[in-house]
Chain A
Amino acid sequence: MTGSVGLLNDRELMGEYTIGNLANHSERLMIMIDLLLKEVNLKLEELDGIAVALGPGSFTGLRIGVTTAKALAYSLKKPIVGIPTLDALAQHFPLTDRLICPILDARKQEVYSAFYRSDGHKAQRISDYQVGSIEKVLEKIQEPVVFLGNGLLLYQSHITKALGEKALFADPAHSSPRGGLIAWLGLQRLIQQDQDDPFSLVPLYVRRSDAEIFWEKR
């Protein structure tokens, strides 16, 4: 899962630190935050708010990110906003006429996904967040679409086979969630006086735990 920390003000991206496939979020996250702040010569206390990607994604990775952000917001008494990762990914293509479909590898031959459409300014979500097979996603697509996300690493050829020329794919540089964009989307919410409660904020898992799924099937 990507590890990314970004810092921006209302005019520019001040800095971003992104590792495409971060192996150990727990060991690296605070170090990355510290490095970025030092690099742009900013103190944590000077921040006006904290935005965090809520997922879906690796359960453990999400918990590390969300817990870190919650505890930072609580300790610094700064506002916090949670941004669904699929929403952030869709904003890589805010102006396309195509359907936008970010897909993230959910393991177990499944992907996390949602559909978005541009309103001329921004990609607006037009479906629920879902987890399921790639076939289930493809089933619903009748029109030109752009795919992005780490699900492409596994399913790009599969999608091409099913949709042919209808499907376009993001290049790798536009396929990973980025801290700078999470921060930007967070800023938009903060400007609207919209924020989350750090105490109750939790990841957007989309998928329930195996134990709960088995319990229901029993």
Chain B
Amino acid sequence: MLILGIESSCDDTAAAVVEDGVKILSNVISSQNEFHQKYGGIVPEIASRKHVELILYVIDEALKKAGITLDDPEAIAVTYKPGLVGSLLVGLSAAKAIAYARRKPLIGVNHIEAHAYANFMEHPDLEVPHLDLTVSGGHTLLVYIKSPTEHEVLGGTLDDAVGEAYDKIAKFLNLGFPGGPIIDRLAKSGDPKAIDFPRPLLNSGDYNFSFSGLKTAVTYFVREAKAQGKEIREEDLLASFQQAAVDVLVAKLLKASEEKQVSTVTLSGGVAANSLLRKTLSEKGRELGLKVVYPSLALCTDNAAIIAGLGYHLFKKGVRSGLDLSAKANLEF
């Protein structure tokens, strides 16, 4: 069964065709990075405008690469939350119009659930229940996953998403956008113990996160050092920041795995591509006898294959969305 997936929740315009929830026939992503780069972050209005420009080209290419026409998909799956509402509305409007015009079911997909689903897509034997940490430029969530379509949110960020902290620090230091891959690369040649940054909410006793304070600590440190005329090695600064962020993420995920008594933990979202996060979690997981699973790089970042993939399971479960489906900025599980 073929599902056409459409995704436009942030700054990537994406469409994909997936068979039976796992076989990716096409996965087209048009990145807008070059349009946002000079602003040091995503500008919602520009993202929305680009989506309108790109959406049909992307959908058409996804169909052509899959070697099918609009006659073939059984249903249209589309991200409707969470994300930038102006961006979401473009993909959603296109999906509704296509579904209506071709008399196909419309299936609204939760972007976060879809990121967590990436692991099911690539690991058909993935054990449930398991714990998933979704980390990206827009989200930091710890989720207890019972099946591809059933989950319970244990905690999330109270302020900035972890990827947002990366982006903001990169912007502050004029390193470029997006900040995640740049900082990850530079931090590799730095000393993670050089600066002892705070580990926010490390011992808070719950599963919430906070990265705004850590970001501020980094910027203060740089300003203070400058005021005192001290040289700082940027690589050391970034390695120390990254270590602080990863320490908190890994500690909370492991604590939750103990409390929920799961034997598998997964990473998902754009920051799941972070090399230190992957390495640290794999090492700790090995010590504790936990299975650690994360998606390939292509499925970490925003894409529509995971939307179509999860859309298949929702379709099988009987989920159908109305033409009045609206976009939501927040998760609202």
Q: A: which residues have CB within 8 A of B?
A: 24, 26-31, 33-34, 44, 59-60, 63-64, 66-72, 74-76, 198-200, 202-203, 205, 209-212, 215
Whether B86 contacts A60 by the Cβ 8 Å rule is: yes
The total of chain B residues at the interface (CB under 8 A) is 35
Whether A59 contacts B86 by the Cβ 8 Å rule is: yes
Q: B140 on the interface (CB 8 Å rule)?
A: no
Q: B182 on the interface (CB 8 Å rule)?
A: no
Given A63-B89, A63-B90, A202-B52: 6 more A-B contacts, CB < 8 Å? A30-B100, A63-B51, A71-B94, A76-B101, A209-B45, A211-B46
Whether A209 contacts B46 by the Cβ 8 Å rule is: yes
CB-CB nearest in chain A for B324: A27
Whether B323 contacts A63 by the Cβ 8 Å rule is: no
Within 8 A of A (CB), among B48-92: 48-49, 51-53, 55-57, 59-60, 70, 85-86, 89-90, 92
Chain B hits for A74, CB < 8 A: 56, 59-60, 98
CB-CB nearest in chain A for B47: A209
In the bound assembly, the distance between CA atoms of A39 and B325 in angstroms comes to 22
In the bound assembly, the distance between CA atoms of A26 and B85 in angstroms comes to 11
Cβ-neighbour of B56 out of A30, A71, A212 (below 8 A)? A71
Cβ-neighbour of B326 out of A24, A63, A66, A202 (below 8 A)? A24
Whether A67 contacts B323 by the Cβ 8 Å rule is: no
Chain A hits for B325, CB < 8 A: 27
Chain B hits for A205, CB < 8 A: 49
In the bound assembly, the distance between CA atoms of A33 and B99 in angstroms comes to 13
In the bound assembly, the distance between CA atoms of A31 and B322 in angstroms comes to 9
Looking at chain A's contact residues, the main secondary structure is helix
Whether B45 contacts A31 by the Cβ 8 Å rule is: no
Chain A hits for B46, CB < 8 A: 209, 211-212
Q: Which one of B46, B95, B101, B326 has the greatest number of beta carbons of chain A within 10 Å?
A: B101
A-B contact pairs, 6 of them (CB 8 A): A30-B100, A59-B45, A59-B48, A70-B55, A211-B43, A215-B39
Q: B215 on the interface (CB 8 Å rule)?
A: no
Whether A75 contacts B98 by the Cβ 8 Å rule is: yes
In the bound assembly, the distance between CA atoms of A76 and B99 in angstroms comes to 11
In the bound assembly, the distance between CA atoms of A198 and B56 in angstroms comes to 8
In the bound assembly, the distance between CA atoms of A209 and B51 in angstroms comes to 14
Whether B57 contacts A44 by the Cβ 8 Å rule is: no
Whether A28 contacts B101 by the Cβ 8 Å rule is: no
In the complex, what's the smallest C-beta–C-beta distance from B153 to chain A, in angstroms?
Answer: 25
Q: B97 on the interface (CB 8 Å rule)?
A: yes
In the bound assembly, the distance between CA atoms of A202 and B60 in angstroms comes to 17
In the bound assembly, the distance between CA atoms of A31 and B52 in angstroms comes to 21
Chain B hits for A27, CB < 8 A: 324-326
Cβ-neighbour of B323 out of A30, A66, A69, A209 (below 8 A)? A30
Chain B hits for A31, CB < 8 A: 323-324
Q: B23 on the interface (CB 8 Å rule)?
A: no
Chain A hits for B101, CB < 8 A: 44, 71-72, 75-76
Looking at chain B's contact residues, the main secondary structure is helix
CB-CB nearest in chain A for B327: A26
In the complex, what's the smallest C-beta–C-beta distance from B63 to chain A, in angstroms?
Answer: 10
The 5 A-B pairs of least Cβ separation, nearest first, read A71-B97, A75-B101, A209-B45, A30-B323, A67-B93
Q: Give a binary string over B91-121; 1 marks a CB under 8 Å from any A CB, 0 the rest.
A: 0111111101110000000000000000000
Q: B123 on the interface (CB 8 Å rule)?
A: no
Known A74-B56, A200-B53, A209-B49: A68·B97 in contact at CB below 8 Å = yes
In the bound assembly, the distance between CA atoms of A69 and B98 in angstroms comes to 10
Chain B hits for A67, CB < 8 A: 52, 55, 89-90, 93-94, 97
CB-CB nearest in chain A for B90: A67
Q: B38 on the interface (CB 8 Å rule)?
A: yes
In the bound assembly, the distance between CA atoms of A210 and B92 in angstroms comes to 24
In the bound assembly, the distance between CA atoms of A66 and B53 in angstroms comes to 10
Chain B hits for A209, CB < 8 A: 43, 45-46, 49
Chain A hits for B53, CB < 8 A: 200, 202
CB-CB nearest in chain B for A214: B39
Chain A hits for B59, CB < 8 A: 71, 74
Chain B hits for A68, CB < 8 A: 93-94, 96-97
CB-CB nearest in chain A for B70: A75
In the bound assembly, the distance between CA atoms of A8 and B224 in angstroms comes to 69
In the bound assembly, the distance between CA atoms of A34 and B265 in angstroms comes to 46
Whether A199 contacts B56 by the Cβ 8 Å rule is: yes
Whether A64 contacts B43 by the Cβ 8 Å rule is: no
Known A70-B94, A72-B97, A75-B70: A211·B45 in contact at CB below 8 Å = yes
Whether B56 contacts A210 by the Cβ 8 Å rule is: no
Chain B hits for A76, CB < 8 A: 101
Known A59-B48, A74-B56, A209-B45: A64·B326 in contact at CB below 8 Å = no
Known A67-B55, A67-B94, A70-B56: A34·B326 in contact at CB below 8 Å = no
Known A64-B89, A67-B93: A203·B39 in contact at CB below 8 Å = no
In the bound assembly, the distance between CA atoms of A215 and B38 in angstroms comes to 9
CB-CB nearest in chain A for B53: A202
